Amino acid sequence: MSVQTTNTSAQFGTGLRNWFAGLMKRLGESMQQSMELRSRMDKMTALENKSDEELAKLGITRAQIPYYVFRDRMWL
C-alpha cells in the first residue's frame, strides 16, 4: 500500500479565468483604439470641410491637416 500526499491545492478553472480576463482586456484595448481613431477621423473630416481662410486662422494648411490631428502621435 502506498500513500501520496501533495501540498498543492486544486484550483480548477484558474487557467480559464486568466485566459478570459486576458481576452476581455485585449477586447477593451481594441475598442478604445477604435474609438480614438474614429474621433480623429471625424476631426480630420471637420477640418477638411473648413475653408482655406478658416484653416489659416488656425495656422494650418490643407496639407498639414493630418499632422495637426495626429500631432500628439507623430514627432515630425
Calculate the average pLDDT of the chain: 86
Buried b (16+ CB within 10 A) or exposed e, 1-34: eeeeeeeeeeeeeeeeeeeeeeeeeeeeeeeeee
**Cα separation, 76 vs 71, whole angstroms:** 8
Instruction: Answer whether residue 1 is part of any domain.
Output: no
Tens digit of each residue's pLDDT (9 = 90 or more) over 51-68: 999 999 999 999 999 999
Instruction: Answer whether residue 40 is part of any domain.
Output: yes
Tens digit of each residue's pLDDT (9 = 90 or more) over 8-39: 665 666 788 889 999 999 999 999 999 999 99
Q: For the chain, how many structural domains are there in total?
A: 1
Residue 73: its pLDDT value, please?
A: 80
Instruction: Answer whether residue 75 is part of any domain.
Output: no
pTM of full prediction above 0.85: no
Range of the domain at 24: 14-69
| DSSP state string for 15-69 | HHHHHHHHHHHHHHHHHHHHHHHHHHHHHHHHHHTS-HHHHHHHT--GGGHHHHH
